Amino acid sequence: MALKETTNNQKQGSYTAKDIYVLEGLEPVRKRPGMYIGSTGVDGLHHLVWEVFDNSLDEAMAGHAKNIEVTLLPDNRVRVRDDGRGIPVEKHKQTGKSALETVMTTLHAGGKFGGDAYKVSGGLHGVGVSVVNALSIWLKAEVIRDGDIYEQEYERGVAKKPVKKVGRAKGRGTIVTFEPDPEIFQEISFDWEKILGHLRQQAYLTKGVKIAVRDERNPVAVEGQKESVSGEYTFYFEGGIISYIDFLNRGEETKHKNIFYIGKEQQGMFVETALQYVDDLQSREMSFANNIHTVEGGMHLTGFKSAITRTLNDYARKNGFIKEKDDNLSGDDVREGLTVVISVKIKSQELQFEGQTKAKLGNPEARTAVETVVNVEFSDWLERNPLDARQIMEKVILASKARLAAKAARETVLRKGAMEGLTLPGKLADCSSRDPSESELFIVEGDSAGGSSKSGRDRRTQAILPLKGKILNVEKARLDKMLASQEIRALIIAMGTAIAEEFDLTKLRYHKIILMSDADVDGAHIRTLLLTLFFRYFPQIIDGGYLYIAQPPLYKIQKSGKAQYAYNDGEKDKIMEEFKKMSAGPEKAKKKKAAGEWEVSPVGGDSEEESSLVEAAENIDAKISGVSIQRYKGLGEMNPEQLWETTLDPQNRVLLQVTVKDAQEADKVFDILMGSEVLPRKKFIQTHAKTVQNLDI
């Protein structure tokens, strides 16, 4: 019996001391990089730059550096230089190695855990630069201290040689140059705009520090200069976060002239806040802890929200803007149209983040500190600036009235749905499946396209909701006006999630919501209006990965009974090129053309467009015989079989999933494209006009 048990254990695999692995040095980082930088995708790649840059910024926040330079070099290399004190190079007592090598090759080693080297910093965990070293195929550290230059090179986190002195130099500072490891990152491509945005933000948060950014990857020769030059920006802001508010509100109509600002020491931390209201329905709330953007907020943002709600309610009652019998202003009321930057500086040893990527601040004392400062200082500011205070109160009172009206309208919509026994909109051709994971809702443009879609769909899993005309532009409309739109109400009831406070993603009836509009200007406009609706009122659907855009073909190209579909002009040219290679030659082609075997027949176009297309085809594809090109102007021109084959069939169709990587930038673009201001939209169109393809005029 014992022998049998041993045999079974051997079959199952033994588990002894030799099966216990100890990862030494930086091996854990290379084994599980996502634990340290979030991911090995685009965000993780750029996180390497932020980690090295943060070390230089910590020197600036400590008052030891005034200049930081970030350079993108050829061969996927990045160089970060500062004029701080320089990383120490003498032997470290605990490790027996140079302090520079210790910092570069040891996790949780640095000057931010104790002592007075860094009272405030973002590099709490002490893994920043060592993680970058571990995930780089090559890294070089150079230090200038006491008139000497020291350097050391590393490969995948391992020092090639000891730290050595290589010469003399004036000044001081640290230079780190690294090249990310292609074994870790599948795609290595640094985003110039992303880096510019991040470093601009850091310059606003650290006033008086100059941050230079250069892109030397693809130098371009400039006339009159001997050497080639490339992208270069320098950021320097004396105004700090006041300048940041101005930047965030550019192109917006502000509701009051003066920006509220306070910077004050409270409970051992430095609290900075600046705010201004604009004529908008959304808020922009930017929170930072030790210059790290806490994208998920945290205790400091919670403290601010509590303070501003209480302060404006107290001011409103004290000055007669709301009566005793009236309800209080809600948090949403006081934050509608608000642009605010909250920045706290906390002692490095006390800083608490939730997760290594530092997305949310966890210090409870930050809530109390921010709440106390904003309560006292914002109340005082409102008293000292009565005109600004009145303009702010008019904005938030209007938001409160609109909220109550929207609540009534929303309840009406929901009550109507309940009274009708949850009857779905009459125009909705629903699917028979009740499993959301396999159900799809196609939102189509017009009754004509709706008819073809309903006939061509898979009735078991595909539902069709045709919308009449263009829906309301919700960028300019409040919720109560939006809910008065019959088309939008039909969409909300069809999805089943409700809206605003009652929104429940678990009740979503379809896990694929597909926008399907014509491939022309009107279709693009309708698609943009729908995207605006989802971005503003159903962001959870986008975040959940449930929103898609259908890609109907532009052309049907036939030859000898064989049909191919082209989704853009580029694909059409490739197909025509294939047919050209198959053709019998120019002489034979001319004869066949004369015999009427070759034709171009756009569908739905007028005679001018038809002749234009024929002429274009004759110029480009004159050698192709027996070819028929059908140009679709709308989904309604496709018969049900064609629509199924090209756009509805899961085996053949092309869908684009809608995602939002940068919510702040997306918010700005929607403001420009769908807002009331004409000049920013005109400038945007002029800037991007040359990049537009398939422009239908």
The answer to whether 266 and 273 have CB atoms below 8 angstroms apart is no
Q: Do the annotations mark residue 280 as ligand-binding? A: no
Tell me how far CA of residue 496 lies from CA of 489, 499, 546, in angstroms: 11, 9, 14
DSSP H helices in 210-298: 241-248
> What count of residues does the chain have?
697
Catalytic residue from among 142, 252, 445, 475? 445
Residue type, 575: I
Taking Cα atoms as reference points, which of 34, 150, 137, 139 lies closest to residue 91?
150
Two tokens at 586? 């120019």
Q: Is 533 exposed, middle or buried (0-12, 13-18, 19+ CB in 10 A)?
A: buried
- Tell me, what amino acid is at 59? E
Q: Is 445 a catalytic residue?
A: yes
Query: Shortest CA distance to 108 belongs to which of 96, 120, 94, 119?
Result: 94
Q: Which two tokens stand for residue 106?
A: 């040891």
Contacts of 64 (CB under 8 A, 6+ apart): 84, 85
Q: Give the active site residue among 179, 332, 438, 522.
A: 522
CA-to-CA distance for 27 and 623, rounded, in angstroms?
62
Give the orientation angle of helix 569-582 with respect to helix 607-621, to 10 degrees. 50
Q: Identify the three-state secondary structure at position 283.
A: coil
Residue 573 annotated among the catalytic residues of the structure = no
Q: What are the Cα distances from residue 631, in Å, to 2, 453, 515, 550, 577?
A: 79, 19, 21, 18, 17
Within 13 A of 641's CA, how many CA atoms are on the CB side? 1
Q: Which helix (H) or strand (E) holds 615?
A: helix 607-621
Own/partner contacts of 308-317, CB < 8 Å, gap of 24 or more, are 308/275, 308/334, 308/335, 308/338, 308/374, 308/378, 309/334, 310/375, 311/374, 311/375, 311/378, 311/379, 311/382, 312/392, 312/393, 312/396, 314/379, 315/379, 315/382, 315/389, 315/393, 316/393, 316/396, 316/397
- Is 518 annotated to bind ligand? yes
| 280 is known as an active-site residue | no
Residue 546's closest CA among 575, 603, 507, 517? Answer: 507
Q: Quote the tokens at residue 638.
A: 């496709």
Task: Return left, alpha or beta for 105; rule: phi > 0 is left, psi -120 to 50 is alpha, else beta.
Answer: alpha
Is 153 within any annotated ligand binding site?
no
The residue from 82, 520, 621, 671 that is catalytic is: 520
Is 179 part of the annotated catalytic residue set?
no
Name the token pair of 639: 């018969």
Q: Identify the active-site residue in 151, 333, 371, 518.
A: 518
Contact criterion met (CB below 8 Å) for 128 and 74: no
Q: Which residues are catalytic?
A: 445, 518, 520, 522
Binding residues: 445, 518, 520
Binding residues for Mg(2+): 445, 518, 520
